Structure 1
């Protein structure tokens, strides 16, 4: 009881008596609900909700959050339903409890899927009420403090989830104190030996550094006094997990990391921050490239500070952070500061970080709607949680925050999904640049779009933000779906015509026969399967063919499939023989890939000819457009500049060189292979004729296979 009393005492400093009574009532209700349940460590279960409420009380959270903390395991671990909680404590509290509760009533195939589904549920709840995540973080923090009683593999699993998801979320919300504790406890549980050895090394290093730290601190304090600046100078400690991360990611030794001395200077106003910066730059020489102004451009989580690196006595690097008292409290409490400083007349101190948190959660919701499943969603979230950012500008001067390593494509998707989809090129600081170029802070980015453009699957190889990744995947998935249905419709329609049936004239009864025989839910799903090459159109058509119709069948007498461009995802052109318009062609149906088009003479298709279901008659549409690849082999006399001459001639004739390989044959002759983009066979023949006129060219042929 003493603990509930001490909590009540703590709450009386900022809550009304009737609100404290509601929190007490929630405690008694939870105590009743968890009666007889014990934690692994042996103490009554209700001690856990009480501790979680205690952590939230430290953040000055409102009474509803504290009630939810008391009740957060009731739905999950007892027979009490959400409805019962609504009746007792009202809708907001019941919603908070439900948001924090895991999905226990579902069966999951894997632990990863379970974790992902639970996180997805929580993300949706966070969008309705941001307090859900604060209750969840406090719950996780207390679980990490009491990990001792669990089995080693469970410890590791919880620690991994904490380091991958909950600590980065705390960082995203600017809650530095909670993040540090989650990281250090997670690290100790995940890698006990590494943690222990680092701890020992750190103790030794601190002892050895003490004298120099005091010297530097005194020098800074004296200089600031001389400038009549009131300030507090603190030597900043490095934390175990951040040391470990730096050693791993930056491939640095423990000694290299510990050679840096870090200080924080806390002052009374923003104006003074910049004066202090001038004073320390006069005291020690600054490292020009290492200055960052997070006061003018706050980090994504609302963090503000001036960062600079100085070269001190004996050449030691000194990291300095300069900030106001409010910024310091904001950096430690983040979004919780919204409640920490909330008073009736002053509701706007931390609104910046609150708005940012809302914006981030809005982004989560968008990703959630586009992700194929919960595992893909959580993968995108993890990408977005890693904290390092670059800050770039739109042409109108608006700041856009992106993860480190982001490219113009990430920027385009950050501006708007449609801008991402239609993006074809970009300018960085008014100069044309490749879409895959990593961006750096301070650059101005302009995206060039085109109405007919669409995302390129290759973008997935270089984009870094979850938003871009999920946007591209979502588009490609949809496009693939529509294209495979369209291709399936054309193939099935043709197969039915062989049996004298029109696809559009199918009766409901015939459609039902098809769906039952193929065990597919809808005609659309069946057509998609045919388009993807998972089912053979002729075999499906045979289900409907009666003896009468099949006897009149006369093979593929109907029009073959028409190919009118290179843009389809479900129609691809074989790389072995590279067909171009004008070549006699044949289609081969490949599972999952749809239709692969080969030249009629291609060797790779010869064994498939005996399997007529896998072969499809195809033809070029008279209006076919686009650029098709063809390989040519040019035998030349070796002379200086010959490749340049060939390339110039090809460019003059509107051919596009995709690839060049040179096979040296001897001192006199060489063989050059070009992969060219051409419109059709006539265009290719024209290029080959004109290349033949160059005096150094001995022989020119088109590669067959």
Structure 2
């Protein structure tokens, strides 16, 4: 047996003398045989890696099933072993766990982010079955990070370090395994920012030389005052990790020299009462730094972490952070959820709960997983959940909810329940009506006001913070968008059928759905056409392959005169023979966008163009950009301004102006526009000469009439040589 295996057996005997040694040794031999001939980047036999992973878990006093899972965790992915083999030779429990931990199947994805997101989905699903899957995965990643220096390619080392920081560090934090979390952070930091690492390391070394045994001095003084108060306590201290120091420097935008609390001390006591007694002793001896006290005993973190945190001006005027907790709390702080699976008397994982969905944060992530169809969306929203600092807010009944900093009443409503979020119309914060985009603070009492007829507003996505809120809002938008795309696409295809002289039937479309990517039924085809991902005429050709459409019989549009005829042709169809497309306003479902080339305004004659990935883009009828759509008339959609559009919010009109190059000319333009009720939002000078300046000017106005009044006022100004509205530029 190799030294690593002997050390593992010795570790397990130290905390569980009665463990099934024969079964563990059988697992070691099974892994050795299965990985025969495989080597690590270090040159060592591959099977030493899973034994090292098991050793990390043995340090946490994990149960035998978890240790065996660690030893076998790569056998399904990298060898010929099967789940049936593991179940037969070990147990169904081990087989299930190894399946969950096995390296994730390679996923074909267009982007690295998409692959990461899909892998993360799988990890969460496996975790939801048994949280030990994550513990083994964290230990696996920790050993890989410890040996990352053996990988030759710097870019690969950086990618693995980045993935560790993005995924595994926050997950370790969430399950409370701080011992692994801190080591992963520092190891990843080594490869992501070696310059900052070296700088902080050197400065810490300098401080040690200057201050001598400062940590020991402070420990001695703290022990003395605690002991004099009659409290039996253990005091320990250390420098904060290099990564935590760097993170604080970045967050506060300060230099290393400006940091005052780079040392942290822990006071371990026997019970909760002594925690608060010790806190009182510390606060009576040293000045307290305002705003730095946190009580995680009365309000534990979601991962179960409990402790009192305070920062004081301690011995020798050093600012120090002190954590006070019981010895049991400290064990749980280091091991987190692993403490529930560690070996207890009787050889069982006492109090273990396999259903990981009991953890609220994991339930939130699983809910996001169900809502987000695109892996990239899921990845974005889960990173929001995992990374941010948190605030605590209460319902009027006293229920506590932890939310990321910056959360709003909408986030709070979705935290209560998705239905409450979807129907939210207002909120009271501490008894007072507050806007829905108000940021919540610690201790706020939030009452959510709902209405059965309310639905999520697309504007909510601009200010919500939680992944759960964002995913539910996006899901609603997608559903609303799809409904509009479907209606639009159906009408466009009907238009092609009528133009070509054929009767439209859904049955005909159903017969060709399999010819179009990701289309399972006719609704998918219609939605694809409406979204601009499928060309309506291509669907027609698939149904009637022998038919020659107008474009295929030789009629092509190659000059501006022909473009006018196409516009007229479309306008002729709008006159009554074909009814306008049913566009319900300009915002529903976010399916309608305004072209930046011509900046359409209420009062303009407009036309909609189906644009890939955007739905309908609105142009003015004389926009020069329309030339490129002249030979696809089925993409032209009848739209018009709805009632009240002239009273809507200000929009931007673009002007092309030539002015005399003389002092005060720009000031005069600004004054004229301001007196006319407009506002300059952007100015770009396109050419300059000794006599003239040419420029684009974007002006905020209400409608075409308003813009025309501004143009008239500018033309009456002596400094203005010419002014006209931009058309498709």
Distance 2:347 2:51 in 1: 31
Aligned residue number for residue 526 of structure 1: 525
User: Is the 2:650–2:702 Cα contact (8 Å) retained in structure 1?
Assistant: no
CA distance in structure 2 between the partners assigned to 1:673 and 1:180 by the alignment: 56
Question: Counterparts in 2 of 1:39-438, with a 5 A limit?
Answer: 39-104=40-105, 106-153=107-154, 154-210=156-212, 212-258=214-260, 260-312=262-314, 315-340=317-342, 342-343=344-345, 358-386=359-387, 388-438=389-439
Q: Return 5+ residue gaps in structure 2 as ranges.
A: 554-569, 653-667, 680-699, 710-724
Counterpart for residue 595 of structure 1: 616
Gap change, CA 1:87 and 1:376, over 3 Å in 2: farther
Query: Does the C-alpha gap of structure 1 residues 156 and 631 become closer, same or farther in structure 2, counting only changes over 3 Å?
Result: closer
Q: 1:20 to 1:347 in 2, by over 3 A?
A: closer
- Note if contact 1:663-1:671 (Cα within 8 Å) is conserved in structure 2: no
Match of 1:650 in 2: none
2 CA distance for matches of 1:626 and 1:450?
27
> Matches of 1:535 and 1:592 in 2, distance apart?
10
Deviations 1:547-567 (A, max 9, x none): 89999x995513222444445
Shift of 1:400: 0.7
- For 1:629, the equivalent position in structure 2 comes to 648
CA distance in 2: counterparts of 1:615 and 1:91, whole angstroms: 61
Alpha-carbon separation, structure 2, partners of 1:166 and 1:206: 32
Aligned match of 2:671 in 647, 665, 679? 665
The residue aligned with 2:12 is 11
* Aligned-pair CA distance for 1:427: 2.6
Distance 1:486 1:31, change over 3 A: same
In the other structure, the counterpart of 2:685 is none
Alpha-carbon displacement from aligned partner over 1:330-353 (angstroms, at most 9, x marks no partner): 1111111112364459987787x9
Aligned-residue offset at 1:250: 2.0
CA distance in 1, matches of 2:348, 2:539: 71
Q: Could you tell me which residue of structure 1 aligns to residue 485 of structure 2?
A: 484
- In 1, the alpha carbon distance for the partners of 2:518 and 2:340 equals 56
* Alpha-carbon separation, structure 1, partners of 2:425 and 2:350: 42
CA distance in 2: counterparts of 1:413 and 1:302, whole angstroms: 22
Greater Cα offset, 208-217 or 285-294: 208-217
Distance, in Å, in 2 between the alignment partners of 1:238 and 1:704 is 60
Distance 1:163 1:376 in 2: 19
1:625-680 residue CA offsets vs partner (Å, 9 max, x unmatched): 899626699xxxxxxxxxxxxxxxxxxxxxxxxxxxx975379x9221397999xx
Q: Tell me if structure 1 keeps the 8 A contact 2:340–2:351.
A: yes
Going from structure 1 to structure 2, the CA distance change for 1:434 and 1:478 (only over 3 Å counts) comes to same
Secondary structure at the aligned position of 2:438 is classed as coil
Q: How does 1:450-461 map to 2 (within 5 A)?
A: 450-461=451-462
Cα displacement (A) at 1:302:
1.1
Aligned mates of 2:244, 2:143 — CA distance in 1: 21
Distance 2:392 2:429 in 1: 13
Q: Distance in 1 between matches of 2:376 and 2:336?
A: 28
Q: Secondary structure at the match of 2:341?
A: helix
C-alpha deviation, 1:151, in angstroms: 0.9
Counterpart Cα distance in 2 of 1:107 and 1:423: 40
Q: Cα distance, 1:497 vs. partner? A: 4.2
Determine the C-alpha separation between the residues in 2 that align with 1:222 and 1:520. Answer: 74
2:129–2:355 contact (8 Å) kept in structure 1: no
Distance 2:376 2:582 in 1: 39
User: Is 1:615 the counterpart of 2:636 in the alignment?
Assistant: yes
Question: Match of 2:398, SS?
Answer: coil
| 584-593 or 47-56, which deviates more | 584-593
Comparing 77-86 with 111-120, greater Cα deviation is found at 111-120
Q: Cα distance, 1:12 vs. partner? A: 3.2
Deviation at 1:362, TM superposition (A): 2.6
1:578 to 591, 597, 601: 601
Local SS of the residue matching 1:665: helix
| Residue equivalent to 2:563 | none
Kindly state the Cα deviation for residue 266 of structure 1 after the two structures are TM-superposed. Answer: 1.3
Offset at residue 125 of structure 1 (A): 1.2
Mapped partners of 2:161, 2:517: distance in 1: 47
Tell me, yes or no, if the aligned pair for 1:247 and 1:253 is still in contact at 8 Å. Answer: yes
CA distance in 2, matches of 1:472, 1:227: 55
Note if contact 1:629-1:676 (Cα within 8 Å) is conserved in structure 2: no
- CA distance, structure 2, for counterparts of residue 100 and residue 670 of structure 1: 69
User: Alpha-carbon deviation of 1:231?
Assistant: 1.5
Distance in 2 between the 1:377 and 1:497 partners? 42
Residue 560 of structure 1 is matched in structure 2 by 580
Distance in 1 (CA, whole Å) between partners of 2:501 and 2:579 is 13
Q: CA deviation at 1:502?
A: 4.9
Contact 1:176–1:332 under 8 Å retained in 2: yes
**Is contact 1:664-1:671 (8 Å) kept?**
no
TM superposition shift of 1:315:
4.8
CA offset digits 1:198-225 (Å, max 9, x no partner): 2232122133334554554444333323
- Which SS does the other structure have where 1:22 is aligned? helix
* 1:607/1:547 CA distance change after superposition, 3 Å: closer
Distance 1:63 1:487, change over 3 A: same
Worse-matched range after superposition: 100-109 or 299-308: 100-109
Q: Provide the secondary structure at the position in 2 that maps to 1:79.
A: coil
SS at match of 1:102: coil
| Alignment CA distance shift 1:414-1:605 (3 Å) | same
Q: Is the Cα contact below 8 Å between 1:335 and 1:354 reproduced in 2?
A: no
User: For 1:227-275, what per-residue CA distance to the aligned partner results, in whole angstroms no more than 9, with x for missing partners?
Assistant: 2222222223211111122222222221222555432211111111111
Shift of residue 468, structure 1, vs aligned partner: 2.4
Residues 347 and 397 (structure 1), Cα distance of their counterparts in 2 relative to 1, 3 Å cut:
farther
Alpha-carbon spacing, 1:163–1:704, altered in 2? closer, same or farther (3 Å): closer
Structure 1 residue runs without a partner (length 5+): 634-661, 689-702
When residues 247 and 609 of structure 1 are mapped into structure 2, their CA distance, relative to the original with a 3 A threshold, is closer
Distance 2:216 2:409 in 1: 46
- 8 Å CA contact retained: 2:27, 2:71: yes
Q: Is the 8 A contact 1:170 1:176 kept in 2?
A: yes
Q: Counterpart in 1 of 2:464?
A: 463
Contact 1:223/1:279 (8 A) holds in 2 = yes
Cα RMSD, aligned residues only: 3.9
Cα displacement (A) at 1:355: 6.7
Change (3 A) 1:44 1:548: closer
- Contact residue 116 and residue 378 of structure 1 kept, 8 A: yes
Cα deviations by residue, 1:379-414 (Å, 9 ceiling, x for unpaired): 333222226221111222111111223233322222
Alignment of 1:437-452 (within 5 A): 437-452=438-453
Going from structure 1 to structure 2, the CA distance change for 1:632 and 1:210 (only over 3 Å counts) comes to closer
SS in 1 for 2:268: strand
Question: How far, CA to CA, are the matches of 1:519 and 1:55 in structure 2?
Answer: 45
